[in-house]
Amino acid sequence: MDTPVMPSEKTGPNADTDSFSIRNIGIIGAGQMGNGIAHVAALSDYGVLINDLTSEAFEKAMLTISHNLDRQVAKDLISEADKKKALARIAFADSFAAFKDCDLVIEAAVEDEGIKRSIFAGLCAHLKPEAIIATNTSSISVTRLAAVTDRPDRFIGMHFMNPVPLMELVELIRGIATEDETFELSRTFVHSLGKTTAVSEDFPAFIVNRILLPMINEAVYTLYEGVGTVESIDKAMKLGANHPMGPLELADFIGLDTCLSVMQVLYEGLADSKYRPCPLLVKYVEAGWLGRKTKRGFYDYRGDVPVPTR
């Protein structure tokens, strides 16, 4: 790998020497979402620093990014030179102190409010005053998370879809204190990645998951009540509703722990029984069957072909 371009050396695509602009990006979390955001940002000429608990997590993320870039090269979407330049723009941040020159820091940790609040409480002291903080939360109140920081006016929800390199949409969610400048800078940044924005009000699960996760939860209830098998439910929705992926297969792809977390946020935040998480979804999470990432969920992925578990 080439020597990474450090943030102080970077001039990004929306650089403006006369006013604040986003040039250098910090990302907290090297998992599926974090490495996907790093991928598209580096490919769009931003300098990127990724922070995670271990350098091993970063190295794993870099292997994933390199592999996904290879796919784009194979499809003639980018050149081999583009790939090398993108990888050279990404470096490891061993602590939040490394984000001191970042203009935007995106939190992409697990969907757990306690963990996110802890991250934000420890992050702010290391950032320059004008830096923007974004959370990639898929369901948690942006206003509530912003209140933990020293800059709720420079805080925004920036919900990327999974897998980030392929999905076009990013939901932008303003907290009650988010300033217009923060919103406009964030929207410009997202558009510079080749993404399209949908603006959501700060209500539980926003737009996509407010609609999608109850559908998945209802599919789990359909399985739980014996209306259909895993295979028949997914087949029905793929062939009957023209969905590219069945709801249970999609749940495994998202992660059953994430699905449960979003449903809990909806149930607690809106106090409506229609959002009650299905007991079978709870049981799978309790068993550690979280979907693809643990090799078992509604399907068993340990063999060559996924096999329904019910």
**Per-residue pLDDT tens digits for 247-267:** 999 999 999 999 999 999 999
In this prediction the pTM is 0.86
- Closest by CA position to 219, among listed 210, 207, 208, 231: 231
- Per-residue pLDDT tens digits for 178-208: 999 999 999 999 999 999 999 999 999 999 9
* Active site residue ranges: 138, 159, 171, 209
Strand 299-300 with 307-308, pairing: antiparallel
Which of 217, 214, 262 is CA-nearest to residue 113? 262
**DSSP code string of 209-245:** HHHHHHHHHHHHHHHHTTSS-HHHHHHHHHHHS--SS
Would 307 be classed as within a structural domain? no
User: Are 31 and 167 in the same domain?
Assistant: yes
Whichever domain contains 180, its CATH number is 3.40.50.720
What mean pLDDT is predicted for residues 72-99?
Answer: 97
Determine, yes or no, domain membership for 2: no
Q: Is residue 96 part of a domain?
A: yes
Which pLDDT score is estimated for 5? 44
Determine, yes or no, domain membership for 310: no
Total domains, the chain:
2
Burial class of residue 53 in the structure, from the number of CB atoms within 10 Å of its CB (0-12 exposed, 13-18 middle, 19+ buried): exposed
Whether residue 45 contacts residue 89, with contact meaning beta carbons closer than 8 Å, is answered with: yes
Mean pLDDT within 63-76: 97
Domain closes at, from 148, 167, 200: 200
> What is the pLDDT, as a whole number, of residue 19?
74
In a domain, residue 97? The reply is yes
Over residues 20-42, mean pLDDT: 96
pLDDT at residue number 271: 94
On whether both 168 and 238 belong to a single domain, the answer is: no
Parent domain of 154: 7-200
Q: How far apart are CA 29 and CA 60, in angstroms?
A: 12
What gap in Å lies between CA 234 and CA 221, rounded to an integer? 13
pLDDT computed for residue 20 by the predictor? 81
112 and 161 belong to one structural domain: yes
